[in-house]
Amino acid sequence: MRQYFVTKVNGNFILNDEDYYHLKVVLRTKDNDEVRCIYDGKTYLCRYKSTKDSYILEEICELKEDKELKIDIALYQALIRNENFDLVIQKATELGAHEIIPTVFKRNVVEIKKDKEESKLKRYNLIAKAASEQSNRTYIPEVLSPVNVKDIKLEEGEIGLVAWEKEENTKSLSEIKSQVLNATKIKIVIGPEGGITMDEFEALKSNGFIPISLGNRILRSETATISLLSILNYMIDIE
């Protein structure tokens, strides 16, 4: 059953124009077909009914579901090639990330030019919205404006993790499990295709980030993101 994020006008659930087109024209929804509607973080089972000039999403009941992770995760993802960055947004959303922040490293092979930033972020956020609907999330993670890796800070109660390919002085997630599960928020940093420079790594460490290992093999940036988020999902969801 298809899910949509909706607004409310005069007590009625309302789709945006693109979602209404998709529901009516692409899916060929008929009267009395059921639709999942997300409003204000809650899920409602609704019945679609067409009218002469518009439509009605008639509420049947509220579905008591909890699809979100118990701990917010902020993903600081290096800017990588377009199709791979799109994949990261999609999969990070499916895996429960609360926000996604494109991050500038010295070895980035991609940059977002200022005159293109608004259109890029709009497209990124549309990808996140579609992935949230597909995965039945009740929240759409926001893709924020790019930041420099050295400007990432931790607030009280937060834990920071940086994927580090060097073997020395790294920890496995199992070693810091209690710290992760007791954090108010998890911030994870994934470097670019060329890796994180030593001075960037030291800056993160001085800001409280813990270097972690994702195994014996060198992973592509997008693979590291999916791997780390998958492990964190398992750790958080089984508690």
Looking up residue 23, the CATH number of its domain turns out to be 2.40.240.20
DSSP annotation of 218 reads: P
Is residue 7 located within the same domain as residue 50? yes
Parent domain of 45: 3-63
pLDDT over 80 at 168, yes or no: no
What Cα–Cα distance (Å) separates residue 89 from each residue in 8, 9, 79, 136, 161?
Answer: 27, 30, 11, 16, 19
pLDDT in tens, 107-158: 998 888 888 899 999 999 999 999 999 999 999 999 999 999 999 999 999 9
In whole angstroms, give the CA distance from residue 210 to residue 174. 13
- Do residues 188 and 215 share a domain? yes
| Domain shared by 109 and 184, yes or no | yes
Considering the entire predicted model, what is its pTM?
0.90
Is the pLDDT at 239 greater than 70? The verdict is no
Q: Same structural domain for residues 130 and 83? A: yes
Confidence tier at 165 by pLDDT (50, 70, 90): confident
Ranges 25-29, 111-115, 122-126, 203-207: which has the least confidence: 111-115
